[in-house]
Amino acid sequence: MPAAVHVADHPLVQHSLSLMREQATGSSEFRHQLGQLSRLLAYELTRGEALHAVAIRTPVAAATGQRVDGSKTVFVAILRAGLGLLEGMLETLPGSRGGHIGLYRDPHTLEAIEYYFKLPHDVAECELVVVDPMLATGHTAVSAITRIKQLSPRSIRFVCVVACPEGIAHLHAHHPEVPILTAAIDSGLNEHSYIVPGLGDAGDRCYGTRE
């Protein structure tokens, strides 16, 4: 049985997503809402994070505080739209670190070609969270996770904003143990492999590269 697919149904998540879906939302507002969403998704993702006790001093007395150490969590952005999720997640989880992976599909062989790959050196001791706003066909996510698995991280999770049944099925056919966190599961793909209703091309909408 494949790992869980969790839909973050918090009202603030759905509010941001709805603004991002609007065709009239410009790229500055789109990036802002994606940043908001990234923090909310990071809250959801870190619900089970371990706390460790530390001795602190309040203005009134000595006390015991609780801290999170995110230094073994690495958020890996799939370029380029994944960048829109990365900063907010790094800000939200104290001590967490980032990685980047860039892949393009060779138009002739359809093979995923890596053009950028940079992760912390101690990945084998880390929990990885691969982030990309759209889980459409799932091909890029599968290639990125296959590549990352060569470094034998302790665990891998996948976070997106909009998923669809085809993308989920493809990801879990190749990597059934990878849990997915998303803000929505839309109805499917159109003939151009865009998610319907989706939000269009997340990279273009983030960076204003297409009118």
Return the sign of the alpha-carbon dihedral for residues 10, 99, 200, 179.
negative
Residue 167 CB, nearest approach to ligand URA (Å): 9
Q: Using alpha carbons only, what angle is made at residue 144 by residues 194 and 176, rounded to the nearest 5 degrees? A: 85
Residue pair 97/69 in contact by the 8 Å Cβ criterion: no
Residue 206 CB, nearest approach to ligand URA (Å): 9
For tokens 């990365």, the residue is: 86
Nearer to ligand URA, 76 or 160 (CB): 160
Q: What are phi and psi of 11, to 5 degrees?
A: -55, -35
Residue 43 CB, nearest approach to ligand URA (Å): 24
Euclidean distance between CA atoms 101 and 99, whole angstroms: 7
Residue 85 CB, nearest approach to ligand URA (Å): 12
Residue 4 CB, nearest approach to ligand URA (Å): 23
- Residues within the interface to ligand URA (CB under 6 A): 81, 134, 136, 194-195, 198, 201-203
Two tokens, residue 172: 């879990």
Nearer to ligand URA, 72 or 100 (CB): 100
Sheet bearing 184-185, strands edge to edge:
134-135, 162-163, 184-185
Nearer to ligand URA, 99 or 203 (CB): 203
Nearer to ligand URA, 139 or 174 (CB): 139
Selection from 32, 143, 128, 142 nearest residue 87 by Cα: 32
Nearer to ligand URA, 44 or 166 (CB): 166
Nearer to ligand URA, 70 or 198 (CB): 198
Residue 202 CB, nearest approach to ligand URA (Å): 4
Question: What residue type is 8 in one-letter code?
Answer: A
Q: Is the peptide bond before 80 cis (omega within 30 degrees of 0)?
A: yes
Q: Which residue is nearest to ligand URA (CB)?
A: 136
